[in-house]
């Protein structure tokens, strides 16, 4: 780590933190030094990076001294408290929480969609919600050819969206149910193993939950389309890792499935997975651990000649969180292309 940036991972011991570590290694990110930050209860533990044991430090005053880049995945309240301090210390922060996503002064970036937005940062760049990122990769290539008029999406969200503890809880619940015992729910309000329920984030007065409104508001901001009509229904399903989505895309005029498939086959960050003879399409089991969002079952909406249907699966921890953050950090290494102002 002799050359490169001095990087801090905030929330290093979580599921996304672990993935950030793996990606910095896999993608040979230019590192000069690496600092691992977490809550006081995790301080003193060690994590391995490139064969070296690195101690985890408690997040506190002075944590960002000398740091160039902060990759934050420690929750909204933690980001709100500490990222302004990191910026004041001279660091650029890429935040995986919802704290700054809808702040007009903070760019919300999916590198395959709106990399130019990164040039407007004032120290903080927001990473979108996982479901938003996955949908954006599949819809944006089509939107560029013919602007989307309306999106109707249903999500099938894995336990990984609630972190490592939730993933372990689903395993424990499955073992309990199979043993004839009562499953215990702590990470979620209800047992998720062998069950599903609408996303448990807070509901607004219109009956839409917070997760659904993230998809609405964030997609509009990323696409630069304030009037884009979007309706989402988000559901927790008993899958360990990788989210899936059923997306209905309405245009002003017909858009052939064949053209859509050809466009998506060339789109960055997307892999078309279709075998109609075998009824084989994207599955979360196969999307887990993959960088690409798997997209398939691209078909004409038989109820609307101007609409297409598609199905996708993508790794929530990887492209839906850690990979997108690292890709944003990589953008910042090309100032002549991105025009970083900080």
Over residues 278-316, the pLDDT tens digits come to: 999 999 999 999 999 999 999 999 999 999 999 999 999
175 marked as binding residue: no
| Backbone torsions φ then ψ of 296, nearest 5 degrees | -165, -170
Please tell me what DSSP assigns to residue 77.
Answer: H
219 marked as binding residue: no
Residue 62 CB neighbours (<10 A)? 9
Question: What contacts 178, CB < 8 A, 6 or more positions away?
Answer: none
Q: Are 208 and 230 in contact (CB under 8 A)?
A: no
How large is the average pLDDT for residues 202-210?
A: 97
pLDDT of residue 335: 52
Q: Are 93 and 86 in contact (CB under 8 A)?
A: yes
Q: Whole-model pTM?
A: 0.94
How large is the average pLDDT for residues 236-248?
A: 98
What is the Cα 225 distance to its own chain's centre?
20
How large is the average pLDDT for residues 93-104?
A: 97
pLDDT at 334 over 80: no
Residue 184 CB neighbours (<10 A)? 11
Domain 132-158+196-314 carries which CATH code? 3.30.360.10
pLDDT of residue 138: 98
pLDDT at 269 over 70: yes
pLDDT of residue 309: 98
| Cα-based torsion angle of the residue sequence 232, 78, 127, 227 in order, rounded to the nearest 10 degrees | 40
Q: What integer best gives the mean pLDDT of the chain?
A: 95
149 marked as binding residue: no
Q: Is 201 exposed, middle or buried (0-12, 13-18, 19+ CB in 10 A)?
A: middle
Which of 162-171, 229-238, 320-329 shows the lowest per-residue confidence on average (mean pLDDT)? Answer: 162-171
Quote the longest CA-to-CA distance of the chain: 61
From 93, 121, 130, 143, active-site residue: 130
Q: Are 247 and 135 in contact (CB under 8 A)?
A: yes
CATH 3.30.360.10 domain range(s) in the chain = 132-158+196-314
Residue 240: closest CA among 175, 180, 315 = 315
pLDDT category, 118, cuts 50, 70, 90? very high
Tell me the CATH architecture of domain 5-127+322-333: 3-Layer(aba) Sandwich (3.40)
pLDDT at 156 over 90: yes
| Catalytic residue list contains 243 | yes
pLDDT category, 333, cuts 50, 70, 90? confident
Q: Are 317 and 16 in contact (CB under 8 A)?
A: yes
From 121, 143, 199, 243, active-site residue: 243
pLDDT category, 92, cuts 50, 70, 90? very high
Percent of the chain with pLDDT over 70: 96
269 marked as binding residue: no
Residue 251: closest CA among 301, 313, 214, 311 = 301
CATH 3.40.50.720 domain range(s) in the chain = 5-127+322-333
pLDDT category, 337, cuts 50, 70, 90? very low
């Amino acid at each position: 780590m002799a050359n490169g940036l001095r990087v801090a991972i905030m929330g290093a011991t979580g599921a996304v933190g672990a993935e950030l570590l793996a990606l910095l290694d896999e993608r040979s990110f230019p590192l000069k030094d690496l600092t691992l930050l977490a809550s006081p209860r995790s301080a003193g533990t060690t994590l391995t990076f490139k064969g070296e044991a690195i101690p985890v430090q408690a997040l506190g005053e002075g944590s960002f001294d000398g740091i160039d880049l902060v990759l934050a995945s420690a929750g909204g309240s933690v980001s709100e408290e500490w990222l302004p301090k990191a910026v004041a210390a001279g660091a650029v922060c890429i935040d995986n929480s919802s704290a700054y996503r809808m702040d007009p002064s903070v760019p919300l970036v999916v590198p395959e969609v709106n990399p130019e937005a990164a040039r407007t940062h004032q120290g903080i760049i927001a990473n979108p919600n996982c479901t938003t990122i996955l949908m954006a990769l599949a819809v944006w290539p089509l939107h560029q050819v013919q602007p989307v008029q309306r999106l109707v999406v249903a999500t099938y969200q894995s336990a990984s969206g609630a972190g490592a503890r939730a993933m372990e809880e689903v395993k424990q619940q499955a073992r309990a149910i199979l043993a004839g015992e009562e499953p215990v729910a702590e990470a979620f309000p209800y047992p998720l193993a062998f069950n599903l329920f609408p996303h448990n984030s807070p509901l607004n007065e219109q009956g839409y939950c917070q997760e659904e409104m993230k998809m609405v508001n964030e997609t509009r901001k990323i696409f630069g389309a304030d009037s884009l009509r979007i309706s989402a229904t988000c559901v927790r399903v008993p899958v360990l890792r990788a989210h899936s989505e059923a997306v209905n895309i309405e245009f002003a005029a017909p858009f052939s499935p064949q053209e859509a498939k050809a466009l998506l086959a060339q789109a960055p960050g997307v892999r078309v997975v279709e075998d109609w003879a075998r009824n084989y399409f994207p599955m979360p089991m196969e999307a887990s651990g993959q960088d690409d969002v798997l997209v398939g079952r691209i078909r004409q909406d038989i109820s609307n000649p101007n609409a297409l249907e598609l199905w996708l699966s993508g790794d929530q921890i990887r492209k839906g969180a850690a990979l997108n953050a690292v890709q944003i950090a990589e953008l910042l290494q090309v100032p002549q292309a991105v025009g970083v102002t900080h």
